[in-house]
Amino acid sequence: MTIEYRKGTSFLHRLDARTKLLLFAIATVLAVVILDPILMGILFFLLYAMGRMAVNRKLLNRNLRVLVVIFFTFSMFQVIFFTPEDAHFLFYLIPVKNWIPVTVEGLVRGVAVFFRFFSVVLAVHLMLYTTPPVELVLALTRRKKTRRITRDAALILLIGILFTIIASLSWSESIKNLPLRPGMRFIVVLLSALIPAYIIQWISNRGLPPEMGMALTLGFATVGILSQQAQKITDAQKARGYNVQPKNLIRRVQVLTALLIPIFLATLERSQDISIAILARGFDYNIEARTYRRELVFTREDFIFLSTLVLLLIGGMTLNYFGIGNFTEQAIFQWINR
């Protein structure tokens, strides 16, 4: 059940780790921005298609299957409880008693919510399946690098402009209320967008301290071993004659403690071994000046992929701006009224 990196050469595998982190971030925002269930469904299936190219279909499905039940429950909640006053009533879920009315709005929302959750979770899965943990950590870790003012400035400006577009699409009414001339209005919005842009650029230049990055990498590398160790210990205790799942509750607690002690000790011992091992290989030599063999490089594919994501984002917002973000629902209303 654990989501581990799988080797491969698919499109997703080739993308930079940072792109995939952004994919996750943008997918999350998209899930909020896009209201229409059909668009959300299309987004989900696009992600799923990319996933199928990247990892074994069986593996992908196995992990998603469990979530279907959970997300279905979520969407049922929407169907049942989203019943605004002026909603278009369809039928009662429990007909005789006239309990639990189901509305068009509820149904549409339910479907959208289902795909919404799935898209976000799938984006995380895709990121973890196709990115070696080392690279993921590297993308988050602070590195010593030569600072280039022009590049930093260009990046800040780019993010700033993006924010300005988003702002004018989302809060167009409030912006118009600013007591300024239109040209000045734009400049004020742009300048205030540059502040979060600078903060983002600053954070992405900092990243985690390298010690913490290393701890994360070690964690990724040892998760498998620790679970193997726990299995061995459970086996050893079974072989000693403990009924590992007795019916008696008190016995069960006793057995659990019997398992926990050796698991805890073995983990402790293992972490000590590892700390010795990394020290002996020069971990504390000069961690700030550490080299990283793996290099993160944005390729053309990354730029194209990211631009597509940003376009999707802007497209979704434009739809909302013109009030047609929910076109399926509106189409249904029109059809009903006819």
Partner 1 sequence: MTPFDVEFKNLAFTYEGAEAPALKDINLTISPGEILLITGPAGSGKTTFCSCINGLIPHYHQGELAGDVLVRGYNTRRARVGGLASLVGMVFQDPESQLVTNSVADEVAFGPENLGVPREEINRRVAESLKSTRLQGYDDREPHSLSGGEQQACVIAAVYAMHPELYVMDEPLANLDPEGKAQVLRVVVELAKQRGKSLIIVEHALEEVLPLVDRVIVMDKGGIVRDGPRDDVMSEGEIPFVFTRPPVVRLGEKYGLNPLPLASGQFYQSLSARHTLGRISDQTPPEIDPGSNDLVIQLEEVSFSYNNNLPGQTKALNNINVKIQAGEFVALLGRNGAGKSTMIRQMIGLLQPDSGKVTILNKDMAVTPTYEIARMVGFCFQNPNHQIVSFNVRDEIIFGLKAHEVDPAEFETRIHDSLEFVNMLEYIDAEVFDLGKGQKQRLALASVLSLNPEILIVDEPTTGQDPRMAAEIFEILKRLNESGTTILIITHHIELAATYARRAVVLSEGGVIFDGPVRSLLMNTELMKDSALEMPETTRLASLMSGHGIPAWLVTFDELDQAIGGLVGGGS
* Amino acid sitting at position 122: L
State yes or no: residue 253 binds partner 1 (CB under 8 A).
Answer: no
Per-residue x/- mask for partner 1, residues 176 to 215, rule CB under 8 A? ----------------------------------------
Q: Which residues 214-233 are close enough to bind partner 1 by CB under 8 A?
A: 217-218, 220-221, 224-225, 229, 232-233
Instruction: Rule CB under 8 A: choose which of 21, 208, 258, 332 binds partner 1.
Output: 258
Least Å distance between CB 286 and partner 1? 6
Closer residue to partner 1 in complex, CB, 73/231: 231
For partner 1, the closer of residues 65 and 293 by Cβ is 293
Chosen residue from 294, 301, 304, 318 binding partner 1 by CB under 8 A: 294
* Stretch binding partner 1 (CB under 8 A), from 91-99, 106-114, 191-199, 258-266: 258-266
C-alpha–C-alpha distance, residues 126 and 91, integer Å: 39
CA distances from 70 to 32, 45, 78, 113, 117 (A): 19, 19, 13, 12, 10
When the beta carbons of 269 and 301 are compared against partner 1, the nearer one is 269
**Distance, CA of 291 to CA of 274 (rounded, Å):** 21
Cβ atoms within 10 Å, residue 40: 24
Tally of CB atoms within 10 A around 168: 18
Our finding on whether 293 is near partner 1 (CB under 8 A) is yes
Question: Is 318:169 a contact under the CB 8 Å cutoff?
Answer: yes
Near partner 1 by CB under 8 A: residue from 65, 97, 240, 338: 240
| DSSP per-residue codes, 49-118 | HHHHHHS-HHHHHHHHHHHHHHHHHHHHHHHHH---TT--EEEEEETTTTEEEEEHHHHHHHHHHHHHHH
**What is the three-class DSSP state of 104?**
helix
Out of 82, 242, 321, 333, which residue is the one contacting partner 1 (CB under 8 A)?
Answer: 242
DSSP state of 288: G
Site of interaction with partner 1 (CB under 8 A): 5, 7, 132-134, 217-218, 220-221, 224-225, 229, 232-233, 235-244, 258-259, 261-262, 265-266, 269-270, 273-287, 289-295
